[in-house]
Structure 1
Amino acid sequence: MHKKIVLTNGLRVILVPRASTSAFTVLIAFKAGSIDETNDIAGIFHFFEHMTYKGSKKRKTPYDVAEYMDSIGGEHNAYTGKEYTAYYVKASSQHFEQALDFLSDNILHPLLPESEIEKEKNVILEELKTYEDIPQDKVKELFEEAIFGESKIGKPIIGRKDSISAISKEKIKSYQDKYYYPENAVIAIAGSIPNNENKIVALIEKYFEFISSDLTLNRRAIEKVYGKRIVVKKQKTEQSNIVIGFKVLGSESKEWYALKLLAKIIGGSMSSRMFNNIREKLGLAYFVSTSYCDYRNFGYIATRAGVDNDKVDLAIRSIVNEYQKVLTGGLNDRELLNAKEMFRGSIAIDMEDSEFLAEDYALTELIEEKIEPPEELMKKYDTITRKDVEIVANKYIKDFYAAAIGPRVSKDKIAPLITNNQTPITSK
């Protein structure tokens, strides 16, 4: 069970008590992600996320921040996405108030010292280099460029070298004031929490006292997206990393459950089609996996693999062939049942983790503006039929997009390999 409370300042609070644990997680998420940034300041939300742990009103230095969290035996972290930024603390229930104090002070009262800003620029530029040196991660970024083009949703969260270098204290404060206000945030608290709702609300009102604002929830216009179809990066690597996929709708679509099941059947497990054929039968890859990426208004299903530099063409043809076999041969009931059971199992496991619960409730409310408890998800998965999944397969498995990193990858070679010639399936 959960309860949603809206405070007088517009801040939404979601309580998810769990008696089976002695720990809790408090997470606050803001509807402020990389798609809200302008090109000249790309990466500023990710930068601000870093700066919230560099000194605050109560804890002046990075050491003071770290030492305080150690003193209560807790964990803290933050992450920036394309549609949000989130911060959390996870600790034992006896430190409930200290966690709220710590989180609010870091986010609402960061000192943003100029010396730390300059140091953090170097840190993030090194982080940027790290991404460039990890092709299995970088290739996903290139795939989003291929499928979303120059749109905001297609650009990397971390920003670019020039935009990171241009960040200043004034620009950070400007973006903080514009997006970090109560109506644009959700706090979720899950796990072992006080059995006194009034006490919890009083503590949140005490510590999360935002600067007054007349702003309302950040409403984003849906931008037009024009993909590049194929993006490649030639790089000296021991293996080539590839991503092949197709556009679908995002998380607000009524087809969401069928799309999740389709991706799971295609390549979301060790018994899936991609794993069984690309790895086990053909021996083309150690790692191969298919997933559904679901932003609110945009989405895609894509398969990633790391393959021998001499077998890129064969691997791409084989991945496209597996997609097309879904259309020519259809699905079977056993695959659908297994996919549902995998979701049932992962939901049951995730519900034991207060961090997962806090994140799930907060981000669903923030992005979708609704609450869908994890235990309710399975009921909806169970309503999806094989025909439902085949309908979305027929609708979306077409117009393939590709990204690749390796020493000999090229657009000219990839283009004919992702040409689609499938025949629609008819459910038996």
Structure 2
Amino acid sequence: MPLPDRASVAVSMMVAVGSRYEPHSESGISHFVEHMVFKGGGRYPTARAVSEAIEGVGGVLNAATDREATMFWTRVPARHVGLAVSVLSDIVLRPVLDPGEVAKERLVVIEELRMYHDNPQESAQILFDEVMWPDHPIGLDVAGREETVRGFTDAQCRTHLDAHVRPDSLVVSVAGAIEPAIARELVGAELEDWASRARRDREAPAPATPASGPPLRVQRRTVEQASVLLGGRTGSYLDPERYAGDVLNVVLGEGMSSRLFLELREHRALVYDVHSFVSRLSDTGVLGIGLGCDPRHAATAMRAAVAELRLLAERPVDDTELTKAREYAKGRLLLQLEGTSALCEYAGQQQLLTGRILEPAEVVARVDAVTADDVLRSARRVLDSGLRAAVVGPFRGAARFEAALS
């Protein structure tokens, strides 16, 4: 993605693997491997060598793991793009994976897990995922569990990389002040030998399954603020109706002019934090609502949030509210794509996960095509899937939340 007026170039190596590809006994291996590659590669053999190479020119280097993708990225001044490609390809394709470093990183990742579990909002998210996708890899914490992380070895990391980092699962995305031909030449030189190796087919991840079991989990914890997450299933990122779901999400709970914010916070003062969100995978998705509030108001706030969602499934939004939501969705997209890193991620993830890059103008046109009836159907779809919830707070029982959810 050439952006000749920018001073930087962002480079991402995105791999189509994440936590949903993992067996239960190796939960968290994708995230752990993401950590381990930063310990060094063939040309940059230590963590210090890797970080100094990029930071020595003022660049930034990071990574992230999700359920279906792992992304390694860097952004550097444009004249150092060759260095960026060199470092990324070295650590992702030729990592050292020293056993001693693996042993140390196990301790680091366990501390990361404990940090998340100490945070009530993070704990609520972990519980919510378990409730939404019970007994499925999608429902497990992307970072894994302490018992699995403690057992990871350098051999497991190598096996994971060999199985999943391959030409048909890798996308390299480049955006910024660089000509496409130069980008292709730099990347091709690094990947040519690696891509020519013979590889066995890899197994596809298990498809998403219908939700089952209890729709509510309550975790008792002594805190001053309750954390509540509730929601239902919605379409995948391949679903042609996903844009209606995005507009529904804006109307419901994105921003300070959304229905949830105006009703639960501004009008009734039930919550401090209130928002909605959409999370999509290749064959499923969820529309969720997050609440942070005084424990005394938690059940009432949940009931009020459910009422707002039900209202959207019963009565079409008017033209003014629909226009505002569409403009919000379009404007946020365009603002997010101003930076080289954001555009690099936008293009790369689409190519990796869908096999096609939609130009921003095409996305804008699809958002503009969403009607009030589309939004209503999207809300009904979420409700028809069955609402599910997770609550973290100083609660002895679940009855009040069961009633609010129903």
TM bucket, shorter chain:
over 0.9
Counterpart amino acid of residue 314 in structure 1:
T
CA RMSD of aligned residues (A): 1.6
Verify the 8 A CA contact 1:250 1:295 in the aligned structure 2: yes
Identify the range of structure 1 (203-212 vs 239-248) with the bigger mean alpha-carbon deviation.
203-212
Higher fraction of helix: 2
1:88 Cα offset (Å) = 0.6
Distance 2:204 2:132 in 1: 24
Of 202, 205, 208, 2:188 maps to 205
Q: Does 1:18 align with 2:9?
A: no
Verify the 8 A CA contact 2:313 2:377 in the aligned structure 1: no
Q: TM-score, normalised by structure 2?
A: 0.95
**Partner residue, 1:7:** none
Assess, with a 3 A threshold, how the Cα gap between structure 1 residues 395 and 64 changes in structure 2: closer, same or farther.
closer
1:46 Cα offset (Å) = 0.5
Match of 1:214, SS?
coil
**Partner residue, 2:23:** 38
1:238 Cα offset (Å) = 1.0
1:374 Cα offset (Å) = 2.2
Of 178, 194, 199, 2:163 maps to 178
Render the CA deviation track for 1:220-243: whole Å, top value 9, x for unaligned: 452424344112211111110001
Distance 1:63 1:396 in 2: 48
1:156 Cα offset (Å) = 0.8
Q: Does 1:169 align with 2:164?
A: no
Verify the 8 A CA contact 2:315 2:376 in the aligned structure 1: no
Counterpart amino acid of residue 48 in structure 1:
V
**Partner residue, 2:70:** 85
**Partner residue, 1:287:** 273
Structure 2 residue runs without a partner (length 5+): none
Distance 2:376 2:147 in 1: 46
Q: TM-score, normalised by structure 1?
A: 0.90
Counterpart amino acid of residue 203 in structure 1:
L
1:388 Cα offset (Å) = 1.5
Tell me the number of residue pairs that the alignment of Structure 1 and Structure 2 aligns. Answer: 402
Of 237, 244, 253, 2:239 maps to 253
1:223-372 pair list within 5 angstroms: 223-227=208-212, 228-372=214-358
Distance 1:351 1:51 in 2: 30
Structure 1 residue runs without a partner (length 5+): 1-15, 420-428
Counterpart amino acid of residue 51 in structure 1:
M
1:219 Cα offset (Å) = 4.1
**Partner residue, 1:418:** 405
Of 87, 105, 127, 1:142 maps to 127
Verify the 8 A CA contact 1:184 1:216 in the aligned structure 2: no
Verify the 8 A CA contact 1:23 1:91 in the aligned structure 2: yes
Distance 1:295 1:120 in 2: 29
Verify the 8 A CA contact 2:218 2:391 in the aligned structure 1: yes
1:81-160 pair list within 5 angstroms: 81-160=66-145
Render the CA deviation track for 1:112-139: whole Å, top value 9, x for unaligned: 1111111110100000000011111221
1:349 Cα offset (Å) = 1.2
Match of 1:89, SS?
strand
Assess, with a 3 A threshold, how the Cα gap between structure 1 residues 40 and 220 changes in structure 2: closer, same or farther.
closer
1:63-74 pair list within 5 angstroms: 63-74=48-59
Q: Does 1:378 align with 2:364?
A: yes
Render the CA deviation track for 1:295-325: whole Å, top value 9, x for unaligned: 1211111110111011111111111111122
Match of 2:194, SS?
coil
Assess, with a 3 A threshold, how the Cα gap between structure 1 residues 191 and 409 changes in structure 2: closer, same or farther.
farther
Match of 1:397, SS?
helix
Distance 2:337 2:208 in 1: 35
**Partner residue, 1:3:** none
